[in-house]
Amino acid sequence: MPGVYDEVSGRLLNAARDGIVIIDETQRVVMMSPAAQRMFGFAAEDALGSELARFIPQRYRAAHREHMRRFDDSGKIEVSMGECRPVIGLRASGEEFPLAITVSRADGTGPFASGRFSTALMVDLSVECDLRARFDALWQRFQEIFELSPTAAWITEGERIVFANKACVALFGAASREGLIGRSIYSLLRPESHAAVRCEVGQALAQGATPALLRERIERLDGTVRDVEIVLAPLPDHGRTTLQMVLSDVTQRRNEALESARSRAGLRALSERLVEAREYERRRIARELHDELGQRLTALKMELASLQPNLRARAGGERIGAMLEMLDETVASVRRISADLRPLMLDDLGVNVAIEWLASDAARRTGVKIAVQLDEADPPLGDRATIALYRMVQEALTNVARHARATRVRIRIRQTGDTLVLTVHDNGVGFSEQAMQKEGSFGLLGIRERAYMLGGEMEVDNPPGGGGRVTVRLPLRLMAAGAGELSPSSAP
């Protein structure tokens, strides 16, 4: 029977992955498992019969003996060592390493002979301690980076703040981080921001969602309100309750954006008033040129013509003929200038006729073939929209003549539902990517601004087949509403 027992116990010792050392009541080793031999670097023949103190550094041996004596006197069957701090072991090479030891006692007789024996189950903590040290170093490094980050950040458990960096303390105007730790994040957010933040926090914790960006408002400890952007992301933990939240103060940026938007709106309004005032002045000057100067020039021509028969035989007859030719050229120039300022047919005959005349005149002057596709009836536009549409076609044709190097242009105006669509398509070189930003070029910019004033939009592109295309979409409802006449009150 003892032989069978020895064989079974031997197999158990050999199979054990942790070190097992059995000692007698004199603290001498009577059995050491292969795992323990590898752990301490001793062969069995060198270890058996040695005092257990041999495997402990010299400075700890007295304490170890005292600990074992108290264990013997306590009457306990088992005691664990290394729970609070590791026990230090000594390898044959002289290297020290951390251990966790559980000592069990057994009394009686058996295959080892009678007496009291203790079994020590030993776990080498070298790898664990090394990993813990590395983790502690990484955690310390993380805290340093987190602490020194110029962007405010806090870590929460549930809705309570458990850590906040210096930037976060400064953002909320707290005297120290203790003024924030333990507080609910919702006590520092404006009430109107609670719902959005709760929703994102719930999704982040439940689904581990990607970091979300929120634009919300906070309330500092002094009661002032700041606009912030919040990025929140879950941190790995078993309970899914830990979040990191980064808060960026965007109050100044938002105020600057609002001021910039107000400034742009003011400049657009001023531009609109200036355009309206200029169109009014153009129309007024065009009418004066046509009605006043044109009529006076015509009357002067008639007077000179009436004198010509009486002076035909005299030397002055040739001079009157030259004057009549000069008057004809002057009248033609006045009509051309008047038409460039504001074609009277725009008011008298409508926008379709005016655009057809504009296309015909541009084709005559530039040699470019221009095709016009218009609906039979004029679009239902107010006065401002009518002149704006005419000017956009005029600017587009000027742009083609100056830059496109085109031979053909197609102008199309069509009504699609409640939208009026203007398309000017040429077969020229097309638009570059910087067409809208070209310094000193305001043609396309003028078209875009006029479209914006009417609540519409403009786009330029190079369609398949070549050439360039300007497309303007205008809402008829808004354009028809602006039916008022241009007047001096439009001037700024």
Residue 160: CB atoms within 10 A of its CB come to 13
What's the average model confidence in pLDDT over 69-91?
76
Residue pLDDT, tens place only, 430-443: 887 766 556 445 67
Reported confidence tier of residue 101, pLDDT bands at 50, 70, 90? confident
Give the pLDDT score at 206: 77
Give the pLDDT score at 321: 72
CA-to-CA distance for 172 and 223, rounded, in angstroms? 9
Distance of CA 48 to the CA centre of its chain: 71
**pLDDT at residue 358 tops 60:** yes
Q: Which residue has the higher pLDDT, 239 or 241?
A: 241
- Identify the residue whose tokens are 């100067």: 293
What Å distances lie between residue 207 and 194, 201, 202, 237, CA to CA? 20, 10, 8, 13
Residue 188: CB atoms within 10 A of its CB come to 20
2-125 is a CATH 3.30.450.20 domain? yes
What's the average model confidence in pLDDT over 264-277?
74
Give the pLDDT score at 21: 86
Amino acid in position 163? F
Give the pLDDT score at 1: 36
Reported confidence tier of residue 485, pLDDT bands at 50, 70, 90? very low
**pLDDT at residue 347 tops 80:** no
Residue pLDDT, tens place only, 124-168: 888 888 888 888 888 788 777 777 788 898 888 888 999 898 899
Q: Could you state, in order of their start, the residue ranges of all structural domains in the chain?
A: 2-125, 149-249, 268-342, 345-492
Reported confidence tier of residue 421, pLDDT bands at 50, 70, 90? very high
Number of H-type helices and E-type strands within the chain:
15, 16
Q: Which of 390, 376, 445 is nearest to 422 (CA)?
A: 390
**pLDDT at residue 178 tops 80:** yes
What's the average model confidence in pLDDT over 27-46?
87
Reported confidence tier of residue 381, pLDDT bands at 50, 70, 90? confident
90-104, 222-236, 319-333, 402-416: range with lowest mean pLDDT: 319-333
Q: What is the 3-state secondary structure (H, E, C) of 211-231?
A: CEEEEEEEECCCCCEEEEEEE
Q: Which CATH fold topology does 149-249 show?
A: Beta-Lactamase (3.30.450)
Give the pLDDT score at 168: 92
Beta-strand relationship, 152-157 and 115-124? unpaired
Give the pLDDT score at 16: 60
Q: What is the dihedral of CA 204, 208, 212, 216, to 10 degrees?
A: 20
Reported confidence tier of residue 8, pLDDT bands at 50, 70, 90? very low
Give the pLDDT score at 84: 57
Give the pLDDT score at 2: 42
For residue 321, list its beta bridge partners.
none
Give the pLDDT score at 254: 85
**pLDDT at residue 227 tops 70:** yes
- Say yes or no: do domains 2-125 and 345-492 share a fold: no
Residue pLDDT, tens place only, 271-289: 767 777 776 777 777 677 7
**pLDDT at residue 473 tops 80:** yes
Q: What's the chain's Rg over C-alpha atoms?
A: 48
CA-to-CA distance for 174 and 164, rounded, in angstroms? 11
Give the pLDDT score at 291: 67
Return all residues near 468 (Cβ < 8 A) that are at least 6 apart.
Answer: 400, 404, 406, 425, 426, 428, 429, 430, 431, 460, 461, 462
* Pair of tokens at residue 15: 């199979």
Give the pLDDT score at 105: 78
Residue pLDDT, tens place only, 191-208: 999 998 888 888 887 776
**pLDDT at residue 369 tops 90:** yes
How high does pLDDT run on average in the chain?
A: 80
Reported confidence tier of residue 326, pLDDT bands at 50, 70, 90? confident
DSSP state of 118: E
Beta-strand relationship, 369-373 and 115-124? unpaired
**pLDDT at residue 313 tops 60:** no
Give the pLDDT score at 387: 85
CATH of domain 345-492: 3.30.565.10
Give the pLDDT score at 408: 93
Axis-axis angle for helices 294-307, 316-341 (nearest 10): 160
Give the pLDDT score at 298: 77
pLDDT > 70: percent of the chain: 83
Q: Which residue has the higher pLDDT, 18 or 429?
A: 429
Reported confidence tier of residue 109, pLDDT bands at 50, 70, 90? low
Sequence-ordered alpha helix ranges (H) in 367-441 = 383-399
Give the pLDDT score at 384: 82
CA-to-CA distance for 171 and 135, rounded, in angstroms? 30
pTM metric for this prediction: 0.49
Q: Do 19 and 89 form a contact (C-beta atoms < 8 A)? A: no
